[in-house]
Structure 1
Amino acid sequence: MATSAVGPIFGVLGSCMGCMVFVESIAKQEPSAMNLMTFSTFLFIATHGLFFTSKFFTVKNQIPLKGYVKTVSMFFIVNVVNNQALNFHVPVPLHIIFRSGSLLATLLLSVFLVGKKYSMRKYVSVVAITVGIIICTLATSSQEKNSGLSMEEASKHYKEWAIGIGMLTFALLASAYLAICQQQMYEVYGKHPDEAMFITHFVSLPLFLIMGGDILSAADKLSASKPYPILSSFLPVPSLWVDLFASCILQYLCIKYVYQLNSRVDSLTVTLVVTLRKFLSLIVSIIYFKNPFTPTHWLGAVLVFAGTLAFADIWGTNAAGKPTAEKKKQ
């Protein structure tokens, strides 16, 4: 592997995993803050792009704004729905596993919307991913039913959890369609990742007005959180605001490093690194936050991640990193 790719690989693993730690910390302490968290991330990335990418709109866009319409719409929906699902009692480990099933949705939409054809191995991989997600979902469902709550509380808890799963399912399909929209946009206008990163976040900001009341309410709750321990002696900053700011920085770095990695190595290596990041995030979530994870969950998780790697043909590449004959024929 080229030395130039080492930095982005560690950047992806470190920043993306770190971001998930702060996101889960916020979700556990104040689950109603998910819209605020999404808005803050968009605002941070848009502000950074305004200064360094657009240079206050003095740099001409390579892609016209009309080319971003579908991409921005789907990007906004996917991010909001994914984060909002955490507000419906969806455990973060299950959230990670669900989002790891994006290949399933991508394959389905690619077949039905774009007319692509895939080898039998890829269909088997997707079946493994699907079965893994179902196993994890059913295992979590069983935990929800036996949560030790009263019948009325358990019923409400279970209904909210079911809504969260529905939201994740919708987001899974929407993210696959987003990938198709981005691919079509790049085919027409060329690849301009920094510009696309800035525009998709900046243009989405006015859409958060529809949830302004919820965002302001969450901001008040974050302001009421206990002071951050390290800073409390000389600067009583609410701890959840520190967590939110840290998650914004790490989310920006995560996206930036993925873009860098994508420009320096082949797509298979990117898939491997992103899959490894998700698996390590899952381990951190289970150990650090003591999330319940049964042997049944592990079985489902192994199926999901193994299916993802098999789909990407990680084991079907030779030492030089060139695709096998089967890959070339596709």
Structure 2
Amino acid sequence: MARPGPRAGHLFHKYDVKYVVSEAMASAAAPILGVLGSCMGCMVFVENIAKQEPAAMNLMTFSTFLFISSIGLVFTSKFFTVKNQIPLEGYFKTVSMFFIVNVVNNQALNFHVPVPLHIIFRSGSLLATLILSVVIVGKSYSARKYISVFAITVGIVICTLATSSQGDSGLSMEEASKHYKEWSIGIAMLTFALLASAYLAICQQQMYEKYGKHPDEAMFITHFVSLPFFLVMGGDIVSASTKLSASAPYALIPGVPSLWVDLFASCVLQYGCIKYVYQLNSRVDSLTVTLVVTLRKFLSLIVSIVYFKNPFTAQHWVGALLVFAGTLAFADIWGGQPAKKQEEKKKQ
């Protein structure tokens, strides 16, 4: 005679973890694909603007904040008729760090930092997030994860050194010295933004833990409240607007300056990019968010090399391989860690 009780219990024990994992993967799949697609597309337009008019970075940052704030005002806040789920004081750290990270990262392109280096250097956010998570949050990670981020760091250093050796060729000694000083400032800005970005991810996670997860509201507030800060950049923004208006007309839209089209496209895609990052951040921890963003940056690097024909030497490929391999090792794509974590979470 059959024994349905134990068999049923056995089947549930065998497949419940797989069900939980598949549900979690399905929940995160859309934001992950959205991050990869929209963020990579945005970088194409950003690089095109940076190559033609590098002084327009503050204008680009302001335009993105204004565009996202306008959409949030209509659809999320409904012209401030919807009550905030998170009080404004709860956003203070997140808004401050978000504004600083965006402005500093974009301004680094004004200091002779090429976009490929900009992309791969910022991929070190995985290391920065891990370190700050240990120091500030008190998290602990396996030795494998530390080895993985060490490989990523070595890869970034190799790419940085390989790129810096190309920057001052053909310049006089005086020009090369000035170029190197400005490039060093750009690298310092990226280093600062790297740590600030990691701290931002932790601030967002702590905010969600305290007030609950409201990604659409957080996306609107962090951009809208930051708008007054751009007043200090008013002169630079107006000057850049004049330069964009003087750009060649867009082929498909006669009479419309091409760089304004690029700027609008970058705003739309950046909206999608940030929206999906916020959604992802509300469903997984900050380290996983940084992992997905790191993968996106690596793919953007490949697009930058192929589409914009940026120089990429054997040293660059070695560094890029270390970054990519380190990221995959960190994700443990060959192991069963995700399922194990879900099972342990279910038992708690």
* Corresponding position of 2:198: 176
For 2:244, which of 203, 209, 222 is the aligned residue? 222
Q: CA deviation at 1:119?
A: 1.4
Asked if structure 1 preserves the Cα contact closer than 8 Å seen for 2:152 and 2:326, the reply is yes
Q: Map 1:90-239 onto structure 2 (within 5 A).
A: 90-145=113-168, 147-232=169-254, 236-239=255-258
Greater C-alpha Rg: 2
Q: Provide the rounded CA distance (Å) in 1 between the counterparts of 2:83 and 2:325.
A: 43
List per-residue Cα deviations over 1:151-190 (Å, max 9, x = no partner).
Answer: 2222222211111111000000001111111111111111
Secondary structure in 2 matching 1:315: coil
Secondary structure in 2 matching 1:93: helix
Q: Map 1:1-330 onto structure 2 (within 5 A).
A: 7-145=30-168, 147-232=169-254, 236-260=255-279, 273-317=292-336, 321-323=339-341
The AA in structure 1 aligned to 2:336 is: T
Which blocks of at least 5 consecutive residues in structure 2 are unaligned? Answer: 1-23
Q: Provide the rounded CA distance (Å) in 1 between the counterparts of 2:199 and 2:26.
A: 34
* Segment drifting more, 182-191 vs 113-122: 113-122
Which blocks of at least 5 consecutive residues in structure 1 are unaligned? Answer: none
Asked if structure 2 preserves the Cα contact closer than 8 Å seen for 1:271 and 1:312, the reply is no
Q: Provide the rounded CA distance (Å) in 1 between the counterparts of 2:284 and 2:234.
A: 41
After superposition, the CA RMSD in angstroms is 2.5
Q: Provide the rounded CA distance (Å) in 2 between the counterparts of 1:135 and 1:287.
A: 20
Asked if structure 2 preserves the Cα contact closer than 8 Å seen for 1:99 and 1:172, the reply is yes
Asked if structure 1 preserves the Cα contact closer than 8 Å seen for 2:32 and 2:280, the reply is yes
Identity %: 84
Q: Provide the rounded CA distance (Å) in 2 between the counterparts of 1:292 and 1:8.
A: 32
Q: Provide the rounded CA distance (Å) in 2 between the counterparts of 1:279 and 1:315.
A: 20
Number of residues of Structure 1 aligned to a counterpart in Structure 2: 323
Q: TM-score, normalising length from structure 1?
A: 0.90
Asked if structure 2 preserves the Cα contact closer than 8 Å seen for 1:8 and 1:257, the reply is yes
Asked if structure 1 preserves the Cα contact closer than 8 Å seen for 2:47 and 2:115, the reply is yes
Q: CA deviation at 1:267?
A: 8.2
Asked if structure 2 preserves the Cα contact closer than 8 Å seen for 1:5 and 1:261, the reply is yes
Q: CA deviation at 1:5?
A: 5.9
Q: Provide the rounded CA distance (Å) in 2 between the counterparts of 1:16 and 1:224.
A: 27
Secondary structure in 1 matching 2:109: helix
Asked if structure 2 preserves the Cα contact closer than 8 Å seen for 1:316 and 1:323, the reply is no
The AA in structure 2 aligned to 1:237 is: V
